[in-house]
Amino acid sequence: MDFAGFVRQQSALWYATLGQDAGAPGPLSATGLEPAGTLLLVAPHPDDECLMSGFALRAREEWGTRVIVLPYSYGSRMERRPERQEELKRAIACLGFELFDPRENPRLEELSPSDLARSLSVCAPDAVLFPHAGDGHPAHIRCSRLVSEGVTLWANASRKRVHLYETAYWQDLPDPNLMVELASDHVIRMGTSLLEHRGEVERNPYHLSLPAHLIDSRRKGVERVSGMGSRAGSGLFAQLLRHSVMN
């Protein structure tokens, strides 16, 4: 069974057990969010652009958002970095996003403050998607700190209004305020692109846990975003985020 079949089987079992039909995600317009013309997704590692991509996929579909991926790092193993760079290119092509990488260093080291400043200047995003400050992995935490500080400096200097969307993978967001519902097709696109990171998936087949992660995010979001005691809708998958605006 391929990944698409795996996701569809989980979805079919879920709805058959509940005795109801699959529900379509509510439109992003219902969230009251301001549409973004350009969204910069800062991925701590190659593969995070897939794991973080649910909201970005929906923004591209419904708002026509241009999604640009900026890799913060290429992992800790130097000998794997060139290969991971190629895997990243294939995954981004699968997602339908764009890649921007300002590095001129052939060692593919972690993004520097000047690299980030150049990226923000060139891409001029209306929104930035990045991990939250306590995301439980050292590289995710360093990435979050760099982005938070860099976007603040750039937004103040350019007097640009920027929407910040913080994500979680290794450690839950302490205070999510946005739940973005995802359809099975979004999850399939996320997992299929993740499979392009062959070296990582061969080491640990974590693509198989992605649907469960998004199902659990939906469970938590119903209570933590919609309000304790809220009634769950018919959706199955969701991404939890913390949204804020830097004026």
| DSSP secondary structure, 175-198, as one string | S--EEEEE-HHHHHHHHHHHTT-H
Instruction: Say what the pLDDT of residue 108 is.
Output: 86
From residue 72, alpha-carbon distances to 5, 75, 99, 129, 141 in Å are 32, 9, 12, 12, 11
- Residue that is written with structure tokens 């520097």 in the block: 112
24 inside domain: no
How many domains does the chain divide into? Answer: 1
Q: Which pLDDT band, with edges at 50, 70 and 90, does 226 fall under? A: confident
61 inside domain: yes
103 inside domain: yes
81 inside domain: yes
Q: What is the pLDDT of residues 40-51, one digit of tens each?
A: 999 999 999 999
Residue 133: strand, helix, or coil:
coil
- Please state, in angstroms and rounded to a whole number, the distance separating the CA atoms of residues 23 and 59: 19
Instruction: Say what the pLDDT of residue 22 is.
Output: 77
Q: What is the pLDDT of residues 129-170, one digit of tens each?
A: 999 999 999 999 999 999 999 999 999 998 899 999 999 999
- Whole-number mean pLDDT of the chain? 93
- Residue that is written with structure tokens 């400043």 in the block: 117
What CATH number is associated with residue 103? 3.40.50.10320
Q: What is the pLDDT of residues 64-83, one digit of tens each?
A: 999 999 999 998 888 889 99
The residue among 206, 199, 196 whose CA lies nearest residue 97 is 196
26 inside domain: no
Range with lowest mean pLDDT among 14-23, 31-40, 60-69: 14-23
Q: What is the pLDDT of residues 6-18, one digit of tens each?
A: 999 999 998 899 8
**Which whole number is the average pLDDT over 21-44?**
91
Q: Which pLDDT band, with edges at 50, 70 and 90, does 91 fall under? A: very high
- Please state, in angstroms and rounded to a whole number, the distance separating the CA atoms of residues 80 and 190: 22
